[in-house]
Amino acid sequence: MRNDNKAIKLLMVDDEVGFAEVLRKRLSRRGILVETAYRGEDAVRMLREKEFDVAVLDLKLEGMDGIEILKVFKMLAPELPVLMLTGHGCEKAAAESIRLGVADYLSKPVDFELLLEKVRQVCIRKEDVHEKD
């Protein structure tokens, strides 16, 4: 079980600066440590440099899209749970992200409490898996 005193470290990847900043502030108020990348290349660099408990990834980004980033994340950190966000409902992309191992897929505008619940759930599942090993 996750130690409640240990803050969740979350990597937010979204090129909508305003949206990402609002989510960062709201999640931070709930005790989650959030680092934000606005480009896929920056997100990959950050994942190489630091450890995160969970990533929240937008599907549609300039440059590397969410699917490309997800593939790299799964190579660099296969156990990292990734929540995919999109304002562009696309069944093909959703199916591809699920095939690649995304933990969950949420549509924008995202319900904040639902996102927070999903973040906590995937972190608890990740901790439970590590305890069984």
User: Tens of pLDDT along 9-58?
Assistant: 999 999 999 999 999 999 999 999 999 999 999 999 999 999 999 999 99
pTM exceeds 0.75, yes or no: yes
- Going along the chain from its start, the domains and CATH numbers come out as 9-118 (3.40.50.2300)
Q: Is the pLDDT of residue 2 over 80?
A: no
CA distance 83 to 119: 8
